[in-house]
Every structure is written in C-alpha cells, then in structure tokens.
Amino acid sequence: MATDNVVWHKHEVNKTTRSEKLGQTPRVFWLTGLSGSGKSTLANLLEKKLHEQNKHTYLLDGDNVRHGLCGDLGFSDKDRVENIRRISEVAKLFVDAGTIVLTAFISPFKADRDYCRSLMEDGEFVEVFIDTPLEVCEKRDPKGLYKKARSGEIKDFTGIDSAYEAPEAPEVHLTYQDEPAEQTAERLYALLQEKGLV
Ligand SMILES: Nc1ncnc2c1ncn2[C@@H]1O[C@H](COP(=O)(O)OS(=O)(=O)O)[C@@H](OP(=O)(O)O)[C@H]1O
Ligand SMILES: Nc1ncnc2c1ncn2[C@@H]1O[C@H](COP(=O)(O)OP(=O)(O)O)[C@@H](O)[C@H]1O
C-alpha cells in the first residue's frame, strides 16, 4: 500500500484546541441535489448568514473545485467517485482546522456521501438534501446544460442519462416550494436550528 511506510503524526495543536479558539463546533453541511436544484445559491446564502455571526466558514463549490483540485476529472461514474473522494478528504482537513464547511456538489452516489460521513466524527457530517424536482431544475436550467443534455450535446448528465441516488435518511430534507431563494435559505436555516446545528 502507498501508506505502508508512512507514520501518522499526532500534533499538540489539534482539532479540539483550534475549535475552542475559534469558539465553534466544526462540521460539514453537505448539500446534495440535482444540477440547478439550488445548492450553490443556498450554500452561499447560508455561508453569508454564518459569516455575519462571526463563524469561520469555507464553501467548497462544484464548479470552482472542478477548475482546480479536480480539473482533471470529467463526469463518468468513476470520475465522480474520485471527485467526491478528494472533496471529502479536503472537507476533513477543513473540519480538522476547526472550520464550518459547506459543500455544493451533486454527489449523486450514496456510497460516496457515506464515505465522507465515515471520515468524520459522529455529528460532524450533516447531509442536506436539496430536493428540487427534475422538472423544476430543468425549467430553471441556469447554465443551459439541460438543454444541451436533452439534445445529446452533453453526455452522462445527472437526472437525464446519469443516475442520482436520493438520500434515504438525510439529517435535513429541504423540500421544494415555489418561493424566492432567500426564503428557502431561511427555511434551511430554521431546520438546522431545530436540530441544534447552527
Ligand atoms: N454531465 C454532467 N452532469 C452533471 N453536471 C455537469 C455535467 N457536465 C457539466 N456539469 C456541471 O458540473 C457541475 C457538477 O459538478 P459536481 O462536481 O457537483 O458533480 S459530481 O458531484 O461529481 O457529480 C454542475 O454544476 P451544478 O449545476 O452547480 O450542480 C454542472 O454545472
Ligand atoms: N427557492 C430557490 N432556491 C434556490 N435557487 C433558486 C430558488 N428559486 C430560484 N432559484 C434559482 O435557481 C438556480 C439554482 O442554481 P444553482 O444555485 O447554481 O443550483 P446548483 O448549484 O444546485 O446547480 C439559480 O439561478 C437560483 O437563482
């Protein structure tokens, strides 16, 4: 194995001391849902709200990460698995740094979301299902990608010719309502508050 001769170092400054200094409980709010479901928009609004409360946050966003860390990956099942594996490892590092992490990736496969959960301590991984129906996402089509997927210009598009495995027991299930994004963000915040997560 690649790690056979690599020894893990335990440092004195650690997650507990860093979190205490920051005055917060580090977690990952893992937003999952179809393209156009509202992940980026809602993660951005939630981060703004937490930031205003002097929380130390970091938003990992699909489109941005795919320009850098995962710039070599496409949208085959194998590449999506690797995409989420890398992001999960990065999220774990941020949590170790004491940060509240928000992620906005389609993350279509249950096993990959569960992998991220398995890297975290109990309660640190908060799965948030942005449950916006495909018809609504397709109507929104903010980047014109559904149109391209329907015409065959893009292959392996989630919800069209690539699978999306909906979460079975997410910590937060945000159902769709026809309302402005700000209102949905308020509903999301209230659900997190109810569970004592913010
Ligand atoms: N084939 C295909 N399927 C789905 N999405 C596609 C595809 N090609 C490009 N895009 C754009 O890439 C964004 C999804 O990237 P993710 O890293 O979140 O995807 S995944 O979690 O690895 O499945 C996604 O962003 P969001 O719309 O913000 O979800 C799209 O803009
Ligand atoms: N209630 C809502 N919640 C989130 N986004 C909404 C809502 N209503 C309309 N939208 C619009 O839908 C689009 C969602 O796109 P985006 O946030 O990029 O989704 P994703 O990151 O899941 O692909 C944006 O253009 C946003 O303004």
- Domain extents in the chain: 20-193
Nearest CA to ligand 1 atom 26: 35
User: Cα–Cα distances in Å, from 141 out to 42, 134, 136, 145, 177?
Assistant: 16, 10, 8, 6, 17
Q: Is 37 in the pocket of ligand 1 (CB under 6 A)?
A: no
Residue among 129, 130, 140 whose CB has most ligand 2 atoms within 8 A, to mutate: 140
For the whole model, what pTM was predicted?
0.97
Q: Is 103 in the pocket of ligand 1 (CB under 6 A)?
A: no
Contacts of residue 155, Cβ cutoff 8 Å, sequence gap at least 6? 75, 149, 161
Looking at residue 194, what is its pLDDT? Answer: 97
Looking at residue 7, what is its pLDDT? Answer: 87
Give the SS3 label for residue 116.
helix
**Range 20-193 has CATH code 3.40.50.300:** yes
Contacts of residue 153, Cβ cutoff 8 Å, sequence gap at least 6? none
Q: What is the pLDDT of residues 95-132, one digit of tens each?
A: 999 999 999 999 999 999 999 999 999 999 999 999 99
d(CA 122, CA 3): 25
H-run or E-run covering 128: strand 125-131
Contact 171, 195 (CB under 8 A): yes
User: Cα–Cα distances in Å, from 54 out to 27, 51, 89, 98, 185?
Assistant: 15, 5, 25, 13, 18
Contacts of residue 131, Cβ cutoff 8 Å, sequence gap at least 6? 33, 37, 166, 173, 174, 175, 176
Given a cut of 90, whether residue 10 has pLDDT beyond it is no
Atom of ligand 1 nearest to the CA of 83: 22
Known binding residue 145? Answer is no
For residue 129, give the ligand nearest its CA: 2
Whether 88 is catalytic: no
Which of the following is catalytic: 76, 107, 118, 151?
107
Q: Is 105 in the pocket of ligand 1 (CB under 6 A)?
A: yes
Q: Which residues pair with 29 in a beta bridge?
A: 102, 126
Q: What is the pLDDT of residues 32-67, one digit of tens each?
A: 999 999 999 999 999 999 999 999 999 999 778 999
Query: Ligand 2 centre and the CA of 39: distance in Å?
Result: 7
